[in-house]
């Protein structure tokens, strides 16, 4: 039976993460205003706190399933700030592709590095099958040419997993993941994006100009045994919950702040009062809370179904679609309720408004999530429903 009731141990863990998140929040405005800087890998306060995931991974009897608790921890962290972490994890999205598509030897060789994922190109975003970055075999080396944009952690990372085609005429089957390390001649980060929100997270453009990499840097070993395009896509599927739950953490932060501010003006939700005796502001608070709760339950359900296995595609996509939409609408409604205070730089709500937008974009836009859901439910292929 599904039961998301938290045990005392779960609650202790989440309380500790919440305290850490409040510390991270103190740095949020600084890194929002200093987009050219990186938040430190470890905040000075980190010595006083335990690593949240290490704590979560020592379960007590009857504790919430690990993946569900991981989601709650991630929501709590984003509630503090989307990009500033007490202690930054070493892994990035490319590491997920390495896990799925790399040989044991490749995982051993590069697993300790921070690997970003580079799929998106100018003119190729939602439909990754149309990417044009090429990889041509020349002796014992692949020669890469092309451009990648919007690569998360592209500046900070040690290298990337780049999706490239070995034969443009052969469609998506010719797309494979390649590990390209920083310092490879012909491979360069050319631009750091200035974005609407999540300034603490870097987003890079990178170019390959006759970048030569050893043949064995194709994940899977060779072009016949690699997981190819499906490995890249399954890693993308695995990133969606993290992006979606972050959106809900941001939305909850905005709601908590709005509640506090309205309470100062004497506006509090009177739960026992009927709908006819509630003000519009009280009703809005109830609706925002219900939306966040519904999206959170979708996400926890997907996590519960996927505990100990790969993320279930349909439920994960539903949860990402819902959370992206709710994150945007909840924060916008909070902004509306707060009036001028909502857009003031003295508070973080205007930042959360900007940050939330991205959670309905990266990892696949809301429109694309809904397309995937329709295909899954109706049994259409991507060629039949696009
Ligand atoms: C902060 C951030 C981080 C990112 N990180 C990464 C990363 O690490 N690695 C990486 O490779 N990419 C990354 N991306 C890129 C991201 O995955 C793409 O921006 C996203 O997939 C959308 O692609 P696009 O921007 O080219 O938009 P397009 O594909 O051009 O779409 C434009 C609009 O049209 C809609 N649309 C497109 N096709 C359809 C359709 N068939 N039906 C209905 N609507 C449709 C889209 O939803 C969107 O609203 C990141 C983006 C952002 C903003």
* Locus of tokens 């030569």: 212
Q: Which CATH superfamily is domain 93-226 in?
A: Butyryl-CoA Dehydrogenase, subunit A, domain 2 (2.40.110.10)
pLDDT in tens, 315-327: 999 999 999 999 9
Report how far residue 319's alpha carbon sits from residue 66's, in angstroms, rounded to the nearest whole number: 18
At 20, is the secondary structure helix, strand, or coil? Answer: helix
β-bridge pairing 159-165 and 115-118: parallel
Determine the distance from the C-alpha atom of residue 325 to the mean position of all C-alpha atoms in its chain, rounded to a whole number. Answer: 15
At 352, is the secondary structure helix, strand, or coil? Answer: helix
Of all protein residues, whose CA lies closest to atom 44 belonging to ligand 1?
A: 367
Cα–ligand 1 centroid distance for 25 (angstroms): 28
Hey, CA dihedral for 63, 64, 69, 75, is it positive or negative?
Answer: negative
Q: Please tell me the class of the 234-378 domain.
A: mainly alpha
Of all protein residues, whose CA lies closest to atom 12 belonging to ligand 1?
A: 120
Cα–ligand 1 centroid distance for 364 (angstroms): 6
Helical spans, DSSP H, in 200-279: 228-264
Cα–ligand 1 centroid distance for 365 (angstroms): 6
Q: 95, 118, 126: which to mutate for ligand 1, most atoms within 8 A of CB?
A: 126
Cα–ligand 1 centroid distance for 287 (angstroms): 29
Domain ranges of the chain: 8-80, 93-226, 234-378
- Average pLDDT across the chain, whole number: 93
**Cα-based distances in Å from 177 to 5, 16, 105, 151:** 41, 38, 16, 15
Q: 91, 93, 125: which to mutate for ligand 1, most atoms within 8 A of CB?
A: 125
The rounded radius of gyration (Å) of the Cα atoms in the chain is 22
Once rounded to an integer, what is the mean pLDDT over residues 335-359? 97
Confidence band for 206, pLDDT divided at 50, 70 and 90: very high
> Residue 176: exposed, middle, or buried by beta-carbon count in 10 A (0-12, 13-18, 19+)?
buried
Report how far residue 317's alpha carbon sits from residue 270's, in angstroms, rounded to the nearest whole number: 35
**What pTM was estimated for this model as a whole?**
0.94
Residue 25 and residue 348 in contact, taking contact as beta carbons nearer than 8 Å? yes
Helical spans, DSSP H, in 81-177: 93-101, 104-110
Statement: residue 194 has pLDDT above 70: yes
Of all protein residues, whose CA lies closest to atom 38 belonging to ligand 1?
A: 126
Cα–ligand 1 centroid distance for 128 (angstroms): 9
Cα–ligand 1 centroid distance for 233 (angstroms): 14
Once rounded to an integer, what is the mean pLDDT over residues 136-160? 97
Which pLDDT score is estimated for 63?
78
Once rounded to an integer, what is the mean pLDDT over residues 83-97? 91
Statement: residue 227 has pLDDT above 80: no
Cα–ligand 1 centroid distance for 125 (angstroms): 5
At 10, is the secondary structure helix, strand, or coil? Answer: helix
Q: 148, 199, 361: which to mutate for ligand 1, most atoms within 8 A of CB?
A: 361
DSSP string covering 196-211, please? SS-TTS-EEEEEEEEE
For residue 368, which atom of ligand 1 is closest to its CA?
A: 47
Instruction: Give the whole-number percent of the chain exceeding pLDDT 70.
Output: 97
pLDDT in tens, 267-297: 999 888 888 889 999 999 999 999 999 999 9
Report how far residue 133's alpha carbon sits from residue 8's, in angstroms, rounded to the nearest whole number: 51
Both tokens of residue 154? 């592209």
Which pLDDT score is estimated for 89?
87
pLDDT in tens, 27-78: 999 999 999 999 999 999 998 887 766 766 666 677 788 899 999 999 999 9
β-bridge pairing 141-152 and 159-165: unpaired
Which pLDDT score is estimated for 225?
61
**Of the listed ranges 159-168, 254-263, 266-275, 322-331, the one predicted with least confidence:** 266-275
β-bridge pairing 141-152 and 134-138: antiparallel
Which pLDDT score is estimated for 226?
60
For residue 163, which atom of ligand 1 is closest to its CA?
A: 11
**Category of 186 on φ-ψ map: left (φ > 0), alpha (ψ -120 to 50) or beta:** left
Of all protein residues, whose CA lies closest to atom 43 belonging to ligand 1?
A: 367
Report how far residue 219's alpha carbon sits from residue 209's, in angstroms, rounded to the nearest whole number: 21
Cα–ligand 1 centroid distance for 127 (angstroms): 8
Cα–ligand 1 centroid distance for 290 (angstroms): 28
DSSP single-letter state for residue 65: P
Q: 122, 128, 150: which to mutate for ligand 1, most atoms within 8 A of CB?
A: 150
Ligand 1 site residues, Cβ closer than 6 angstroms: 93, 116-120, 125-126, 150-152, 203, 358, 361-362, 364-365, 367-368, 371, 386
DSSP string covering 258-282, please? HHHHHHHTT----TTS-GGGS-HHH
Cα–ligand 1 centroid distance for 231 (angstroms): 19
Question: Any residues with CB less than 8 A from the CB of 105 and at least 6 apart, and which?
Answer: none
């Amino acid at each position: 039976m599904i039961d998301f009731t938290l045990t005392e141990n779960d609650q202790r863990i989440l309380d500790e993460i919440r305290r850490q998140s409040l510390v991270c929040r103190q740095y949020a405005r600084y890194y929002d205003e200093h987009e050219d800087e990186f938040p430190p890998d470890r905040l000075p306060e980190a010595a006083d706190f335990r690593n949240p995931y290490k704590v979560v991974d020592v379960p007590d009897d009857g504790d919430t399933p690990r993946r569900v608790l991981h989601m709650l921890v991630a929501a709590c962290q984003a509630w503090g700030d989307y990009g500033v972490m007490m202690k930054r994890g070493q892994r990035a999205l490319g590491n997920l592709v390495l896990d799925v598509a790399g040989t044991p030897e490749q995982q051993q060789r590069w697993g300790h590095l921070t690997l970003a994922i580079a799929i998106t190109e100018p003119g190729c975003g939602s439909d990754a099958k149309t990417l044009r970055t090429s990889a041509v075999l020349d002796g014992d080396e692949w020669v890469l040419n092309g451009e990648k944009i919007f690569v998360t952690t592209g500046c900070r990372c040690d290298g990337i997993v780049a999706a490239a085609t070995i034969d443009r005429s052969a469609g998506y089957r010719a797309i494979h993941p390649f590990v390209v390390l920083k310092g490879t001649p012909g491979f360069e980060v050319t631009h750091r994006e200035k974005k609407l929100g999540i300034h603490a997270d870097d987003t890079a453009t990178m170019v390959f100009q006759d970048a030569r990499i050893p043949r064995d840097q194709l994940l899977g070993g060779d072009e016949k045994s690699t997981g190819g395009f499906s490995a890249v896509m399954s890693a993308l599927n695995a990133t969606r919950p993290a992006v979606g739950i972050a959106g809900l953490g941001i939305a909850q932060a905005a709601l908590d702040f709005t509640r506090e501010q309205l309470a100062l003006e004497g506006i509090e939700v009177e739960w026992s009062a009927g709908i006819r005796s509630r003000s519009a502001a009280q009703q809005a608070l109830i609706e925002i809370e219900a939306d966040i709760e519904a999206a959170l339950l979708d996400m926890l359900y997907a996590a519960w179904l996927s505990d100990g296995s790969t993320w279930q595609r349909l439920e994960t996509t539903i949860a990402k679609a819902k959370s992206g939409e709710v994150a945007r609408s909840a924060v916008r409604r909070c902004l509306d309720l707060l009036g001028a205070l909502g857009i003031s730089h003295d508070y973080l709500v205007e930042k959360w408004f900007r940050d939330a937008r991205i959670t309905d974009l990266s990892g696949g836009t809301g429109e694309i999530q809904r397309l995937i859901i329709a295909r899954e439910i109706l049994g259409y292929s991507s060629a039949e429903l696009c």
